[in-house]
Structure 1
Amino acid sequence: KQLCVKTRSTMSRLHTFSVLAVILLSHVVVHTVQEQTPTPSPAPVPCSLKSNTSCEECLQNVACLWCIPTNACIEYPVKNILPPSSVCHLNDARWGKCWLNFQVLIITVSVFAGVIIIAVIVCCCCCCKCDRIGNRKEDARVERQNRARKENKKARRSDMQMRHDEIRKKYGLAKNNPYSRMNED
């Protein structure tokens, strides 16, 4: 009985503690949400201001393109997929990483895309070919089963016919003439 009383008092203390913890936690969350004011992110520095600096400084902004011969930091021409040669030749353009040649990047991505497309086409052709071969095998198997069933049916029918003929002979009902029943002696 004492154990039950101690357990109940411990449970009530735990319940009180958990309620207080939830209230305290909700109070902290509400105050931190109210205290946070959205701070605007600093506007990115225009690419043109980073011209005549270094490639690394220019490419800190993802929207910038570095042209090596002119040491110009240019906004990437997003209207074109590739920067036109009037802006900067592909071989001299850097975007993302200074060590990465834009022309090499395009060629590499194109080769990888081509290899992936060819691999997908080959896989599709192989799957279709295997499927057709599987269907031919399935059709041949079904045809063999049908022939075997027909042969079994013919064999059973001829066996049954032989048994019926034997029974007819045994009881004198031989069926030599189809009209023999009509000629009863």
Structure 2
Amino acid sequence: MSALSLVPPRLKMSGGRRASVTAALFFFFILCDFLRSSQAQTPTPSPAPAPVTCGQRSNTSCEECLRNVTCLWCRPTQQCMDYPVRNILPPGSVCPLTDARWGVCWVNFQILIITMSVLAGVIIIGVLICCFCCCKCEKTGNKREDAKVERQTHARKARQKARRSEMQLRHDEIRSKYGLAKDNPYARMDDH
């Protein structure tokens, strides 16, 4: 007696299903083994070095100072300092705007502010022009659409009116043919 004969008939699988289940289990075990081995090979992380403050980067280079986005470089004094976040612009007592560098070393802070303001203004004006043009195009498009719909409505009403008058003529012909036509529509019918 084989092992398959002991399995109840409703639990027996065809050859194709058995092969696919076997393949799925095989790949599952390979995946589990891979995950287990990758966890065993993962080294424990070493403690991160203490971050270098902006003040410690003074008397180095502008590039070294500006690696940290919170730092501000003052070119004449060769000082790297924390950006004064309480003020939008660094005050002149900290460093003049023409000598201050933030973000990139090749542009001073004053030119950076002017450039960003001009770009923001151009973008805002561009968006407003696009909105204005879209609204204007939509209005003219709606006017055209409304005129088209109105023409179609007038044409439909004219066709309905023509059909009604044609139908009325046919009904009048039928009434006159069978003697049902009345000279006076308000006269009573005579019972003969």
Match of 1:123 in 2: 130
Mapping 1:36-47, distance limit 5 Å = 36=44, 38-47=45-54
TM-superposition CA deviations, 1:152-181 (whole Å, max 9, x none): 111111111112222233334333222566
Q: 1:60 to 1:169 in 2, by over 3 A?
A: closer
Q: State whether structure 2 residue 11 is matched by structure 1 residue 30.
A: no
Q: Which amino acid aligns with 2:116?
A: V
**Residue identity matched to 2:41:** T
Q: Does 1:52 align with 2:69?
A: no
Q: How does 1:50-89 map to 2 (within 5 A)?
A: 50-89=57-96
Question: In 2, distance between residues paired with 1:97 and 1:74?
Answer: 15
Which residue, out of 112, 116, 124, partners 1:109?
Answer: 116
Structure with more helix by fraction: 1
8 Å contact 1:51–1:58 — kept in the other structure?
yes
Amino acid at match of 1:146: T
5+ unaligned residues in a row in structure 1: which ranges? 1-13
Q: Is the 8 A contact 1:50 1:58 kept in 2?
A: yes
Taking only aligned residues, the RMSD between alpha carbons, in angstroms, comes to 2.9
C-alpha deviation, 1:92, in angstroms: 0.9
Question: Offset of 1:71 from its aligned partner?
Answer: 2.0
Q: Is the 8 A contact 1:59 1:95 kept in 2?
A: yes
Q: Indicate the percent of aligned positions where both proteins have the same amino acid.
A: 62
Q: Return 5+ residue gaps in structure 2 as ranges.
A: 1-22
Matched residue SS, 1:90: coil
- TM-score, length basis structure 2: 0.73
Contact preservation (8 Å) 1:66, 1:72: yes
